[in-house]
Structure 1
Amino acid sequence: MKVALGQFAVAADWETNQKQCLELIERSKIEGVDLLLLPEGILARDINDPEIMPKTAQPLDGPFMDGLKQASHGIAVAGCVNVPDGEGRFFNTHFVLKDGTFIALYRKLHLYDAFSMKESRLTSPGVELPPVVDIGGMRVGLMTCYDIRFPELARHLALQGAEVLLLPAAWVRGPAKERHWEVMTVARALENTCYVIAVGECGPRNIGASMVVDPLGVITLALGEEPVLGFATLLHERLDHARRVLPVLENRRFAAPMLADA
């Protein structure tokens, strides 16, 4: 399975961001990619205007996603957009497109009410566990940004058959934050013997630092803080080897995690 990591700085208007996404899709197609993962919040972002997220939210049949649907023929495209909840807030929605159709959707469960930020002020939480879908011959599970701090979600996906975890993010800079990002991304891969594809938005607020981690916790691709399109190949042989020599999913003594009542 060949993957592309489309790291970029999200602009304040959706037309600019759509153009950037379409360029990344076309470049990924030329490289024969099965899946392109984009960052979190790719509709619009402005660090000087925190209200921009609900103001610019669009439905999944709006013009931003329509453009990506048309471009997604022959490739899977994943990322996060803000979708109105009908009550003045929005759902942070992780989508996977393939051949013009949504094959998976997930509303972010864990909202970033930490480090002096309050995502829940404008965002409505999801109430359902994310799906696992087939892409490029592998089973792929969905997570979003802050979810990486909650190992129960990654374990749930692994027990549902996930071999790859997708993690679009907009990881905010701060003391030791890059270290947190790396440690937890590696831990979720290693403790579940899954690949993790993590793509972070870059720019003045967020760190970028997109990466691919293999099922034994080896970082096989690490990007910096500038806009870039990176590529990696995920191997069934490596996955099978990891699960043979480190059978943590078989050896565990705990029951499967469950979602608490909302």
Structure 2
Amino acid sequence: MTNTLRIAAIQLTSGANFKENLQEVKTWVAKAAADGAQVIVLPENVFLFNGKGMRALAESDDQGLLLREVADLACHYKVYLVVGSHPSLVNEGGELVANQRVRQSCMVFDPNGELVQRYDKIHLFDVSVDDKAGSYRESNYIEPGDLEVKIFEVDGFKVGLTICYDVRFPELFRRLSKEGAELILVPAAFTYVTGKAHWNTLLAARAIENQCFVMGVNQCGWHTQTRQTYGHSVLYSPNGEMLKQLQEEPGYFVGEISKTSLQTCRTKMPCLEHRRFIN
């Protein structure tokens, strides 16, 4: 167990070609690892920014090859590599997802290349937005995950998993906090319009109210003629202080979090102990 942990956010403009996206990931992971990152987090839709193509990739021979490449990457650099989201053909019980949909899975590979945790996105983005796309209906091609919280541990730090739209539902974050999460990850593909309006506010709020570190890892730029994401990947402290942030271009940062600062925050203002509604 250590007092500090170095974590990296990699921000990308992923497209519809998973091979090209994989090459981008390899480039940025190498840089983040060289900067001493122990945990490297990729955004939502990292290998395929094409909802309609999710099922085809999940059913293809390329699926296994791609995940082996990811496992090898984690093993080569001896890091925890968090795939923000990737389509899964089966649910966590091993049953085939029905109606030509997939699960949107956040996958964690350890330094031995082993898959050690998987979280399936619970809240699906079925909304209308004032942008060129106009509306989004994730439930057309994604099946919601089971109502379970997922945490993995790195050097004594408990890390909770969410995906994108989940950030608007504080009850999920509270459950993760109650289970001991000290850092909560939010890999995302937040649209430019909704990101500009709410991205930083929501992430800071989730950090402050749960007195934990929160890192949002977003896509950025134009992916198609109608789909633009906001970027601004960011790391917040338990006090809501912005520790690191990118802008609107692909890139990465490495931030350091500490047990000491988290414990100091929780000791000085023990909000979690003062809760009256605890269910």
Fold shared, TM-score > 0.5 on shorter chain:
yes
Aligned partner of 1:71 in structure 2 is 73
Question: Which structure 1 segments of 5+ residues have no match?
Answer: 257-262
**Is it true that 1:250 corresponds to 2:268 in the alignment?**
no
* Offset, 1:25: 2.1
Match of 2:102 among 82, 85, 90: 90
**CA RMSD, 1 decimal:** 1.6
* Offset, 1:61: 6.3
Report the AA paired with residue 97 of structure 1. F
Match of 1:105 among 90, 97, 118: 118
SS at the partner of 1:39?
coil
Report the AA paired with residue 127 of structure 1. D
**Is it true that 1:29 corresponds to 2:28 in the alignment?**
no
Match of 2:234 among 205, 211, 214: 211
Question: Which structure 2 segments of 5+ residues have no match?
Answer: 91-95, 129-134, 223-227
* Offset, 1:147: 0.3
Separation in 2, partners of 1:214, 1:100: 29
TM-score by length of 1: 0.91
SS at the partner of 2:221?
coil
Separation in 1, partners of 2:123, 2:273: 27
- How many residues in Structure 1 have an aligned counterpart in Structure 2? 252
* Offset, 1:52: 2.5
Match of 1:241 among 264, 267, 270: 264
* Offset, 1:83: 1.5
Q: Is the 8 A contact 1:54 1:82 kept in 2?
A: yes
Separation in 1, partners of 2:162, 2:172: 8
Separation in 1, partners of 2:241, 2:16: 35
TM-score by length of 2: 0.86
Aligned partner of 2:248 in structure 1 is 225
Report the AA paired with residue 178 of structure 1. K
Aligned partner of 1:51 in structure 2 is 52
Separation in 1, partners of 2:269, 2:199: 23
Separation in 1, partners of 2:127, 2:241: 28
